[in-house]
Structure 1
Amino acid sequence: MTRTFLTLLLAALTLLASACSTLDRSPPPTLERQANWVVLPFANHTETPLAGQRAEAIAEAILHSNGISKVKRYPSNLQQEALFDAGERRQQEEALAWARQQGARYALAGAVDEWRYKVGVDGEPAAGVALQIIDVGSGDTLWSGSGGKSGWSREALSAVAQQLIRSLLGSGLSGAR
């Protein structure tokens, strides 16, 4: 019975390790939960159209679920989604200027580096994002984190991305009061 238990335990650990994620994060800053927040346009560094906007929507929902109640999203009529956008920095500066006009204290910015189903028999979902919390007034980055996660063949890509963004933002918001 002990040998069977050890075999099952080893199989379970192997199974858990096969849905991998990698995260790198800076220490959590002290943030004010009741401050005004904005979600800036996420850069899309993938070949998947609208991946940035999909990640923005997930991030906004996760901010709300973490007690950040005053969140605005950069207006879609001002966004430009392109697969290869050379004006990415200019757009972020324009978005920060908009955030200042809105009276925001913090901005969540990001980039999507992977958003796809892997090629192969199983077609596992894979997402990769980099996030930053920015002090809108100074433009300083207060926190940053990046990560990648792959899931099981029957998992939705949006579910894998949600888990990844939740893990990243959870560490960035842990110092919020």
Structure 2
Amino acid sequence: MIRPSFFLRVLQWLLVTTLLASLVACSTVDHGKAPTLERGASWVVLPFANHTETPLAGNRAEAVALALLQAQNIGQIKRYPGSVQQEALFDGTESKRQEDALAWAREQNVRYALTGAVDEWRYKVGVDGEPAAGVTLEIVDVSSGDTLWSGTGGKSGWSREALSSVAQKLIRELLRAGLASVH
């Protein structure tokens, strides 16, 4: 015969497991195989598209990506100097801005470009207001314009965690995947 205390322990274990599972931050990342990239090559961080309702989310993600890319010590890294951030929702000039930035990078004889898009950059509505970020990154061969690698991901954090921290973790994870084969 099974004792009632056994059922109580199983029930407690199930409750604790469920509670812990619900508290863990959620992350989803997908990416292609890392390309073989030259160490010491010149890089540029091009404008990130902002597909959110959060003003300047693209600029914020660019700044994080630039800092993390510089920390990889893979070569000289520049940031596109133009003020090209999408300011208004449904701005139809995004592809033109990207073409202009890539043309500038060619003039500078840059080898690789990092660009991307921000799809989510906010605190979720609710009691806890968890931070959530969604980012897509691309590594582009500047001379040909070909995309060598792309990755996308979304991450949410704890209610007391900063949105910039969640985004930094996500962008770091994506960059590690894209830069895994730098020689």
Please indicate, yes or no, whether the TM-score normalized by the shorter chain is above 0.5: yes
2:123 corresponds in structure 1 to: 117
1:125 and 1:134 map into 2 onto residues whose CA distance is 29
Which of 153, 162, 165 is matched with 1:147 structurally? 153
The CA RMSD over aligned residues, in Å, is 1.9
Q: CA deviation at 1:14?
A: 1.5
Shift >2 Å, 4+ stretches:
6-13
The answer to whether 1:133 aligns with 2:135 is: no
Q: CA deviation at 1:38?
A: 0.2
Q: CA deviation at 1:27?
A: 0.3
Residue segments in structure 1 that go unaligned for 5+ positions in a row: none
Residue segments in structure 2 that go unaligned for 5+ positions in a row: 1-8
The AA in structure 2 aligned to 1:106 is Y
| C-alpha distance after superposition, 1:89-112 (max 9, x if no partner) | 111000000001111000001000
1:99 corresponds in structure 2 to: 105
Contact 2:50 2:85 in 1 (8 A): no
1:68 corresponds in structure 2 to: 74
1:88 corresponds in structure 2 to: 94
1:23 and 1:14 map into 2 onto residues whose CA distance is 19
SS in 1 for 2:120: strand
CA 1:69–1:13 in structure 2 vs 1: closer, same or farther (change >3 Å)? farther
Instruction: State the TM-score, normalizing by the size of structure 1.
Output: 0.91
1:10 corresponds in structure 2 to: 17
- The count of corresponding residues between Structure 1 and Structure 2 is 172
Using the aligned pairs only, state the percent identity.
66
In terms of Rg, which structure is larger?
A: 2
The answer to whether 1:22 aligns with 2:22 is: no
